[in-house]
Amino acid sequence: MNNFIAASIIAADFFSLENEYKKLNQTDIKWVHFDIMDGHFVPNITIGSCDLDAILKKTNIPIDIHFMVDNPDYIVPLFIKNYSNKKISNVSVHVESCQNIKKLSNIVRKNKISFGLAINPNTSINKIINNLKYIDLALVMTVKPGFAGQKIIQKCINKVKKLRNYFDKNNISIPIQVDGGIKLENISSLSDAGANIYVSGTGIFNTNNYIKTVNKMKKIVE
């Protein structure tokens, strides 16, 4: 599996998004991670279709959408309809709020977008293991979702390890994505745990040189 870095765009400078993208284009990130929060599932409201429209019109880095919403069964199909054939690689929803994972997975996959399932820090990895048939990516949150710039929760690294062990023992090749509090200083612990896709927000955008930061991260995880 090719491990890679994704940049979480909510940590960017939204007043200078064009400039942020110019800098991201020079790095080796493979996805821009797009956090949609609804103010219900998490205590924050972030970005949505206006931002996504603007970004998709002008940029080429594939998008990975992370829905932190109470009603993914309702909103994701509507979203997908508006964005079919665009540069969206993956859509992840949370197991804590998704009512019908099988049905939603079918809808997303039919649009040639991979379907990810996310678990909060207090949610068991069994929720992922029980749904392997329907998912293309397993997102293990390493902070409580809601805000960029939080500190990584150590016990979540153990969950990644356990999931990696299970996947290896059972020959499962679904990538494990990790998201929240990931920085150059701690990325090796997640790489040792067996993660594949590393989402970093402030860990990239709060550094002076995105190229150097991403290169150093890449060297550790590859």
**Is residue 179 among the annotated active site residues?**
yes
Task: For 49-75, give one letter per residue: b (16+ CB within 10 A) or e.
Answer: eebbeebeeebebebbbbbbbbebbeb
Q: Of 38, 64, 136, 179, which is the active-site residue?
A: 179
**Strand blocks (E) in 38-186:** 63-68, 88-94, 114-119, 137-141, 176-179
Least gap, CB of 168 to ligand DX5 (angstroms) = 26
* Shorter beta-carbon distance to ligand DX5: residue 194 or 201: 201
| 174: nearest Cα among 196, 158, 190 | 196
x/- map, 127-146, ligand DX5, by CB under 6 A = ----------------x-xx
Residue 212: CB atoms within 10 Å = 12
- Per rule CB under 6 A, is residue 149 in the interface with ligand DX5? yes
Beta-strand relationship, 176-179 and 88-94: unpaired
Least gap, CB of 183 to Zn ion (angstroms) = 15
In angstroms, how far apart are the furthest CA atoms of the chain?
Answer: 47
- Per rule CB under 6 A, is residue 72 in the interface with ligand DX5? no
* Shorter beta-carbon distance to ligand DX5: residue 172 or 215: 215
- The site partner of 142 among Zn ion, ligand DX5, none (C-beta below 5 to 8 Å per kind) is none
Residue 20: CB atoms within 10 Å = 20
Helix/strand/coil (H/E/C) assignment for every residue in 134-146: HCCEEEEECCCCC
- Is residue 168 within 8 A of residue 202, CB to CB? The reply is no
SS3 at position 94: strand
x/- map, 2-31, ligand DX5, by CB under 6 A = ------x-xx--------------------
Least gap, CB of 171 to Zn ion (angstroms) = 28
- The site partner of 10 among Zn ion, ligand DX5, none (C-beta below 5 to 8 Å per kind) is ligand DX5
Sites for ligand DX5 among residues 189-208 (CB under 6 A): 199-203
Q: Of 35, 38, 64, 136, which is the active-site residue?
A: 35
Total residues belonging to the chain: 222
Which residues participate in catalysis according to the annotation? Answer: 35, 179
What residues line the site for ligand DX5 (CB under 6 A)? 8, 10-11, 33, 35, 66, 143, 145-150, 179-182, 199-203
